[in-house]
Structure 1
């Protein structure tokens, strides 16, 4: 005989979960609308009220920004360099733990720079919010273009990075994440794209530089198989963590950076970049990438 009471509880939980996530998405859209207004007004101080003191921001074509004072400097320079600003965000995905919210979406910045054509900066972004008693605050943010963009198209801003933020996870977790990064290093150097993709969860979202986001393991795998093909040789690659934060529910946030020296038959160079990595521990106890976004420093 069917257990109708258990079925009723199960259905109620599904509805509650759906409504909770839907409400979070609507709330974030409202917050993003307020942030867009502050950008249009050039109101840096009110904009910064949405950021935690320990926040990390990772703009495209710039070094990472550690801490609210440095982020303030960056946005002050951005406001001075641009005019007629219009910002539109669309939330694509929301994930939540008891104390944090992970937001992914698309972003379009339209603005003018002195002596240059108007700019449509079409991006994707990843944010992590920390829940508070009265409001949420951004603790991590990264954004970057959906297609190739020249550095000269963006305002030229040079803010010196501050000291690295502290980690809030154990030495054991830091070591485990370090070993996963070493596996990624080996896969990239040996051009093993399919193996690289096994480090992601089945429902992963990967957000590469100069391309739209890749949703689901099949799209992630297709990207890495193509990106890590045999036509490019890697002379050196260093992947490091700036800090790692425990988000709860066996999920951690890693702020990472990398330096890769590569060459092909016709080109070569050194790329410096950074990433926001959301690692999630699976049922077997292995850390896998649940959400990840990368962009270039220069």
Structure 2
């Protein structure tokens, strides 16, 4: 009877241990997300690109897949040089799933953007980031995917109705 109790306790304890996120890992990713957010607000493509692997895959909303750091850099520089500016960008990690040299981060984001002669645009949605541990121990983004929770057609409809 004691051995069944001990085995049950061990299984329960192991389950609880593996389901709890590693605090150090969570703090590390929170810090990386803060750097990323600040870089977006400051239109700092160089800092943003330092957070990605060379073979990054990016899967943005309403756009084709982006392969490789150079393609991502070119697109990011186009945005940096446009009139659109990110005025706030907040990320909240909901879950971290360690998988060997990878950490899967699932979260929510909220952001605001502006451009001349356009009302401030708010967006919120969800994301998945696959962080890959590098040889030096740092984490870099290997895969990212995000999409909005807002219906852009409804938002455009609302903008047009407000102009009338």
Q: Gaps spanning 5+ residues in structure 2: where?
A: 1-17, 151-164
Shift of 1:232: 2.2
Structure 1 spans left out of the alignment, 5+ residues: 1-165
Aligned residue pair count: 132
The residue number in structure 2 matching 1:109 is: none
What is the distance in 1 between the residues matched to 2:81 and 2:75? 10
User: Is 1:288 the equivalent of 2:145?
Assistant: no
Q: Structure 1 stretches (4+) deviating beyond 4 angstroms?
A: none
Q: Contact 1:168/1:245 (CA < 8 Å) preserved in 2?
A: no
Could you tell me which of 13, 24, 27 is aligned with 1:175? 27
Q: Does the 8 A contact of 1:193 with 1:226 survive in 2?
A: no
Question: Cα distance, 1:168 vs. partner?
Answer: 4.3
Normalized against structure 2, the TM-score is what?
A: 0.75
Q: TM-score, normalised by structure 1?
A: 0.42
Matched position secondary structure for 2:86: strand
Specify the SS of the correspondent of 1:194.
helix
**What corresponds to 1:215 in structure 2?**
67
Superposition RMSD on alpha carbons, in Å?
1.7
SS across alignment from 1:212: coil
**Please, which of 105, 109, 123 is the counterpart of residue 258 of structure 1?**
109
Q: Counterpart of 1:174 in 2: which secondary structure?
A: helix
- The structure in which a higher percent of residues are helix is 2
2:102 maps to 1:243: no
What is the deviation of 1:169? 3.2
